[in-house]
Structure 1
């Protein structure tokens, strides 16, 4: 029995790990789609009878009823759009949408990826009965796109994911506007006034910093019902509420207070202190992010699969397929998703880059970007949503559009897979022609590498990678344990790595004393040994632990403490003058790197620097170093 329990727990852990990935959510959504198709093609009419069944709610003498499919599309999907609103609000206020240059290119790509598919569809269906379905091929399905990119693996680098996520946010905003403006047939002024009143109360509560969940639930329900009665699609209420949810980056005081309370709880645990500590820790993350964490699994594993079952079902008889094969609606949707999305995103990326309106994250090449453009043609959730709005009175056109969505999405997935297989590392770097690709210059000059620096690799290496790091920073720790060894193995003697201290005591109270202990270890030629030990024990860097680590290596940790404190402080100030604001911050041959911290992004930057050094040796910004310390590798 013990063996069976162990196997069961291991299997349960693997299942939960699978569910926590984008692949898991995509697999469940795909399974729900197949289930809907199979159910719709069973003998009889059980599929349509079930989803047309009326579900009625009664309150006293009043009743409110909708068919089951409308409860899903108008009710549950409002939660889905609420989560999209949360994501949009977060990205605009504290995410990538804050940086104009970083958001310009994916925003233009998203607009191109919406406009060109609509034009392709219109060209096929102009003047026909399906002309109103031009909005169907406009939106990408983020869940399916990210799931496929996860399967693609290392051929899809981190910067491409960041680009496509930003594109997806802009794409979602555009789809919502299209639904609200072009697919609203009737308007009820009294209901709109009620919705506006509920919205005003929500804004007032937010302004007054009242964060009582029941109040927002009641007001959200009123806003949803009024929007439904007004004729505007009720999912707009979800978007509005999501955008209004508070989002912030916690200040240093919140982090320090939470850390103090956690340490106090460890010293003297009590139920009262545990509740206070939980509240303090919770306040380090905004309500917006908490809701995304809480609602994300419900949306991925319940709401979207139920929506897929309710809407993906279409009878695939021989007659239906033959009619769809020549239907302008089917052909227009499929062509819009495959050719329109691919051309629109590629053109929408090329134009702003050509005009130097913005930047892309990392050193993306055109092969990678075209692969992302191809898979963005997978349109499902919002495409089905618009299909029901555009062809509400025509079951035949609705079926033809759904067949086009399924066929176009499969073709787009196949095209994207092929591009990633054959050309993921080919093509020029996607960068403005007026300046070189890769890292950009920092606001101030980076101090040159000298004998006082801690370096690994030969002084004559063509590329020098400088990191400003903090021993309690989790991202620095991940880089040290996962990325740096792979970089050094890949580039060998062509790469020199330099570590400089940039402790953030406002957030990481033990980072500064850890840096001082590392400098003390350097006096005995054991900097890198202590450096490795500190990153290996990032969660245990209190003064007693630091003292123990030093004594285990045979030296007293605080000798020459004032001298080393001044050295650490001087390194941080020099970093600040060079534009360093947080950790980790990297410089490649004296130029600041602004891509992702993963192996793909940094390898691309180092590779570009090597190419430039080989092509123009005199132009490479190479650090000229004094003789190194003996302990440096």
Structure 2
């Protein structure tokens, strides 16, 4: 159990860390400072407290039991007892436990290692090089990684290091990446071919095409998460947490300095260390807390980080051969888990009732209500069913969504309206802001949607000369269009959309709002239509309502949107 199946648990932790570094919160290195300092003090202070109570003897070997956090149990406790919508707090705590887990696994692998076999270490190094080369070569099949990780595990087991090191390091080496547009288009073509010719060969090709789109890191996480969460961790707990409390064992444990070193280290040390680390980092302006997260909520999560459980029990088994010491330390871990959860719950309640910190998430309501005299829309301007999109003309997935949205608008007919707002991601898409201004300049001449379609059709050609060419293709007044491209009023119009996106919790593109609430999850036409029906109910055609053809006649293809400075819509 401890040397085999638990390696998969640590592999999943490593995969999560690598994904955060490649695609998640840790891609922005500015967000690392606060959780890194908090994690460092959240490791050092508990160890110091433990060693202050157990400075010498065999009991001192248990100091590693108080440095780790059981991420799954801690996040589960936060979900049950923490604030409503704890998304931002969860991300912060997950980032913090990334460093926590790396430190704990390093301690397991080094401080509690047996005699080192250097030949096995050489094989480990070769396996790590092989994983790096596989990732650099863009290998997307599972089996080369699986074989390499299996050899790495065997080598680590023979080296004298704890095999958990193999799991964590392997996870860190498995690449994670965003789907590329070329891979998505290729998979789509293969699926269409299978739809036209549903034969086994076509099906296998379509399956391989879909697998290539999603990184090996994310595929392994999806496959392994259920096994680690619902089987491996519970079985590990059954195998390691059993304590016979009869014959005065509990009384002896509750009077043991080892037990209380574990309890105080985990409960007090974790909460105080992480809390002080956050205060220090924010006061020195090394970073900020995530938007929407208050210090009281961080302190509640810090207290719940004292749930060491899996990490602590594993280290106890490595640190002590004496069953009495193992029992005393295990009782401390179990008692600390209860007290840490209770303390965290109390802090969350105080933060909510006294400081009003009831939620810890990005805003999810549309900050700027829809205004058809200003917003660009398709469909019936007076319709209740409203879908708002924040998009970026250089974002490939926004471009891919364009046809789907036209289809969805057609299906909604006179009962719905689609609103387009700008969110150019200037840090990754250097031409997006200028393209947004070009769309607004075209809107001044009554042709926003024509320019919209051309910009998405030519996302790789958005230089100024290209924009002028699209204006000429649409028959716009080129002199006026060129002047408008430099009009600061249009730049302010785009910035206003960007600010409303930020205030509404939109951080990427495309981001959709169904009515006034941000949509999460898949955004294909079927999901969005189902969400619209869920929120607004299925609309009924009202007698005398205008038809879609009537609207097209009145407003032009896809609805009207004259934009600032143009005549108002009929």
- Of the three residues 384, 396, 409, the one matched with 1:506 is 396
Query: Which residue number corresponds to residue 587 of structure 1?
Result: 499
**1:356-413 residue CA offsets vs partner (Å, 9 max, x unmatched):** 112322221222222111111111001001111111x221111100000000010001
CA displacement at 1:631 relative to structure 2: 9.3
**1:213-234 residue CA offsets vs partner (Å, 9 max, x unmatched):** 5554444333322322221112
What pairs up with 1:77-116 in 2 under 5 angstroms?
A: 77-116=6-45
Task: Provide the secondary structure at the position in 2 that maps to 1:531.
Answer: strand
Measured at CA, do residues 401 and 627 of structure 1 come closer, stay the same or move farther in structure 2, by a change above 3 Å?
farther
Q: Is the 8 A contact 2:243 2:330 kept in 1?
A: yes
Q: Is the 8 A contact 2:409 2:417 kept in 1?
A: no
2:451 paired with 1:566: yes
**1:319-340 residue CA offsets vs partner (Å, 9 max, x unmatched):** 1111111111100101111111
What pairs up with 1:352-431 in 2 under 5 angstroms?
A: 352-391=281-320, 393-424=321-352, 426-427=354-355
CA RMSD in angstroms comes to 4.5
Distance 2:168 2:225 in 1: 15
**1:585-609 residue CA offsets vs partner (Å, 9 max, x unmatched):** 862498795779899xx99xxxxxx
What pairs up with 1:116-195 in 2 under 5 angstroms?
A: 116-152=45-81, 154-155=83-84, 157-195=86-124
CA displacement at 1:127 relative to structure 2: 2.4
Distance 1:576 1:394 in 2: 74
Task: Provide the secondary structure at the position in 1 that maps to 2:499.
Answer: strand
Query: Which residue number corresponds to residue 188 of structure 2?
Result: 259
Distance 1:271 1:400 in 2: 60
Distance 2:66 2:125 in 1: 31
Q: Is the 8 A contact 2:409 2:416 kept in 1?
A: no
Distance 1:305 1:576 in 2: 58
Distance 2:396 2:378 in 1: 12
CA displacement at 1:271 relative to structure 2: 2.6
Task: Provide the secondary structure at the position in 1 that maps to 2:179.
Answer: coil
Q: Is the 8 A contact 2:267 2:339 kept in 1?
A: yes
Q: How many pairs align?
A: 457
Measured at CA, do residues 594 and 367 of structure 1 come closer, stay the same or move farther in structure 2, by a change above 3 Å?
farther
Per mean C-alpha deviation after superposition, the further-off stretch among 84-93 and 508-517 is 508-517
Measured at CA, do residues 275 and 320 of structure 1 come closer, stay the same or move farther in structure 2, by a change above 3 Å?
same
Query: Which residue number corresponds to residue 313 of structure 1?
Result: 242
Measured at CA, do residues 577 and 326 of structure 1 come closer, stay the same or move farther in structure 2, by a change above 3 Å?
farther
CA displacement at 1:299 relative to structure 2: 1.1
CA displacement at 1:258 relative to structure 2: 2.0
- Of the three residues 265, 272, 286, the one matched with 1:336 is 265
Distance 1:453 1:569 in 2: 22
Q: Is the 8 A contact 1:367 1:423 kept in 2?
A: yes
Distance 1:578 1:569 in 2: 23
Query: Which residue number corresponds to residue 5 of structure 2?
Result: 76
Distance 1:224 1:306 in 2: 20
CA displacement at 1:628 relative to structure 2: 13
Measured at CA, do residues 628 and 592 of structure 1 come closer, stay the same or move farther in structure 2, by a change above 3 Å?
farther
- Of the three residues 281, 284, 299, the one matched with 2:228 is 299
Distance 2:451 2:229 in 1: 51
Q: Is the 8 A contact 1:184 1:231 kept in 2?
A: yes
Task: Provide the secondary structure at the position in 2 that maps to 1:587.
Answer: helix
**1:412-464 residue CA offsets vs partner (Å, 9 max, x unmatched):** 011112222332364499xxxxxxxx99xxxxxxx9x9985229xxxxxxxxx
Measured at CA, do residues 504 and 262 of structure 1 come closer, stay the same or move farther in structure 2, by a change above 3 Å?
farther
Task: Provide the secondary structure at the position in 2 that maps to 1:530.
Answer: strand
- Of the three residues 367, 375, 379, the one matched with 1:454 is 375
Q: Is the 8 A contact 2:66 2:262 kept in 1?
A: yes
Query: Which residue number corresponds to residue 530 of structure 1?
Result: 417
Distance 1:412 1:593 in 2: 32
Distance 2:140 2:48 in 1: 45
Task: Provide the secondary structure at the position in 2 that maps to 1:134.
Answer: helix
Task: Provide the secondary structure at the position in 2 that maps to 1:507.
Answer: helix
Where in structure 2 are there 5+ consecutive unaligned residues? 420-444, 463-484, 518-562
Q: Is the 8 A contact 1:82 1:242 kept in 2?
A: yes
Where in structure 1 are there 5+ consecutive unaligned residues? 1-71, 430-437, 440-446, 456-468, 472-479, 486-497, 533-559, 604-624
Query: Which residue number corresponds to residue 559 of structure 2?
Result: none
CA displacement at 1:191 relative to structure 2: 2.9
Measured at CA, do residues 214 and 262 of structure 1 come closer, stay the same or move farther in structure 2, by a change above 3 Å?
closer
Distance 1:315 1:267 in 2: 65
What pairs up with 1:197-346 in 2 under 5 angstroms?
A: 197-209=126-138, 213-346=142-275
Distance 2:448 2:142 in 1: 53
Q: Is the 8 A contact 1:120 1:335 kept in 2?
A: yes
Q: Is the 8 A contact 2:183 2:209 kept in 1?
A: yes
**1:215-263 residue CA offsets vs partner (Å, 9 max, x unmatched):** 5444433332232222111221222222222321121111122223333
Distance 2:47 2:505 in 1: 38
TM-score in terms of structure 2 length:
0.69
